[in-house]
């Protein structure tokens, strides 16, 4: 097992990463003095794979678990379904000495975290991410939210988990398309922060696609370490943390315009990274070779590259509602070559995106 710590003073927490470590869940919760009364928030798909095992492990460790099931899919990441978590907690008599466990992917993790942040003004929660995307991204850093029809993750809170428990063995039950979606976020870390990691991903593509444990653990730990370093420096995205949104501004527009669920989050981010790399080239921060390398690596993991056919005006309107918009100016995270990046105001979005969309269709 590998471990690292997200260092946030009294709100610091450990991340455990390994193969087969789900069996050590109770031990991990004991180590952070987690409440004994817990609600396990999950969906039917994940519960079918791991639910009974997790309940046995919790009960065997002296915990008293209840299950809250939500439907499976991004389209259910809404206030309506968040209220179902509150309903279950209230009718079940959960109080401030209770805790929540998020067993599932990013939707479950985000909704569970937001419920924990807001139920009786805050109770502990822990993440048990079962998708690659949630293991390397959404389970770490304390961003919690639900979607609104006009924008993704527009209603939420910063609220850190007590523990993150990553068993890469859970990726064996993940559909290939969902694994690819997670690789988009892994590739992102290499582009924005670590050129050597980017090169490692290209070199070890086969081992990753074959789900070899050593390769998965290295990729997940490297991704989590990069994210932890950024979160420690800027927990609430007042400055440097915004770089983690590389590919997300256009990606969120793809999700919003296409209807949540048509593209997975990772697929939309992959499309957004391709657009951001092209925008970086046009503005002189990156080269054509950088664009080709980024697109080639994403293509090697079967990720989509080309934006869906929405109008330029629709894309501009959707991006205009992005959380990084400041004083009406569209801001983009742009790669500076491979291994570095920066946040930039986009002065002529209509001209630039018209050019990019005409090239990628």
Question: Which residues are catalytically annotated?
Answer: 121, 143, 185, 227, 237, 241, 245, 248, 252, 265
Q: Is the CB of residue 219 less than 8 Å from the CB of residue 213?
A: no
Strands 2-6 and 13-18: antiparallel
Q: Measuring CA to CA, which residue among 236, 244, 237 is closest to residue 269? A: 244
- Write out the DSSP string of 181-228: HHHHHHHHHHHHH-HHHHHHHHHTHHHHHTT-HHHHHHHHHHHHHHHH
Helix axes 106-118, 79-91, angle to 10 degrees: 60
Q: Does residue 15 have a known ligand-binding role?
A: no
Q: Is 106 annotated as a binding residue?
A: yes
Q: Is 172 annotated as contributing to ligand binding?
A: yes
Question: Kind and range of the H or E element at 258?
Answer: helix 248-258
Q: Per the annotation, does 74 bind a ligand?
A: yes
| CB crowding 24-49: b at 16 or more within 10 Å, else e | bbbebbeeeebbebbbbbbbebbbeb
The token pair that represents 310 in the structure block:
């929405």
Q: Is 109 annotated as a binding residue?
A: yes
Neighbours of 2 (CB within 10 A): 15
Residue 7 labelled as part of a binding site: no
Is residue 45 part of an annotated ligand binding site? no
DSSP at 157 = E
Q: Is 107 within any annotated ligand binding site?
A: yes
Has 173 been labeled as part of a binding site? yes
To the question of whether residue 66 is assigned a binding role by annotation, the answer is: no
Q: Using the 8-state DSSP alphabet, how is residue 308 labeled?
A: P
Closest CA relative to residue 95, chosen from 168, 35, 9, 27:
35
Q: Which residues contact 348 (CB under 8 A, 6 or more apart)?
A: none
The verdict on whether residue 152 carries a ligand-binding annotation is yes
State residue 113 phi and psi, 5-degree precision: -65, -40
Q: Decide the pairing of beta strands 331-335 and 341-345.
A: antiparallel
Neighbours of 114 (CB within 10 A): 24
Alpha-carbon gap, residue 190 to 196, rounded angstroms: 7
**Does 344 show up as a binding residue in the annotation?**
no
Q: According to the annotation, is 77 in a ligand binding site?
A: yes
* Binding-site sequence positions for NAD(+): 72-77, 106-110, 130-131, 143, 152, 170-173
* Binding-site sequence positions for Zn(2+): 185, 248, 265
* Binding-site sequence positions: 72-77, 106-110, 130-131, 143, 152, 170-173, 185, 248, 265
């Amino acid at each position: 097992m590998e471990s690292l710590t997200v260092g946030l003073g009294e709100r610091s927490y450990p991340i455990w990463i390994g193969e087969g470590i789900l069996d050590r869940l109770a031990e991990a919760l004991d180590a952070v003095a987690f409440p004994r009364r817990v609600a396990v928030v999950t969906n039917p798909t994940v519960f079918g794979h791991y639910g009974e095992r997790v309940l046995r492990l919790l009960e065997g460790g002296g915990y008293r678990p209840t299950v809250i099931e939500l439907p499976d899919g991004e389209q259910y990441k809404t206030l309506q379904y968040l209220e179902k978590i509150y309903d279950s907690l209230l009718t079940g008599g959960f109080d401030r000495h209770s805790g929540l466990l998020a067993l599932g992917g990013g939707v479950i993790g985000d909704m569970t975290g937001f419920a924990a942040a807001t139920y009786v003004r805050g109770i502990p929660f822990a993440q048990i991410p079962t998708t690659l995307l949630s293991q390397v991204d959404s389970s770490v850093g304390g961003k919690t939210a639900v979607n609104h029809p006009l924008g993704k993750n527009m209603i939420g809170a910063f609220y850190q988990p007590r523990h993150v428990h990553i068993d890469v063995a859970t990726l064996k039950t993940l559909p290939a398309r969902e694994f690819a979606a997670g690789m988009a976020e892994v590739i992102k870390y290499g582009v924005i922060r670590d050129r050597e990691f980017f090169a490692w991903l290209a070199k070890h593509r086969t081992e990753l696609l074959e789900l070899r444990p050593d390769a998965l653990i290295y990729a997940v730990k490297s991704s989590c370490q990069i994210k932890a370093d950024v979160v420690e420096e800027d927990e609430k995205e007042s400055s440097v943390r915004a770089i983690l949104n590389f590919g997300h501004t256009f990606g969120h527009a793809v999700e919003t315009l296409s209807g949540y669920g048509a593209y997975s989050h990772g697929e939309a981010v992959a499309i957004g990274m391709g657009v951001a790399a092209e925008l970086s080239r046009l503005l002189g921060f990156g080269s054509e070779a950088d664009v080709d390398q980024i697109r080639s690596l994403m293509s090697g993991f079967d990720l989509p590259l080309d934006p869906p056919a929405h109008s330029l005006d629709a894309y501009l309107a959707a991006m205009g509602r992005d959380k990084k918009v400041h004083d009406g100016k569209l801001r983009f995270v742009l790669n500076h070559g491979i291994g570095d990046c920066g946040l930039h105001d986009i002065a002529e979005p209509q001209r630039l995106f018209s050019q990019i969309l005409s090239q990628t269709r």
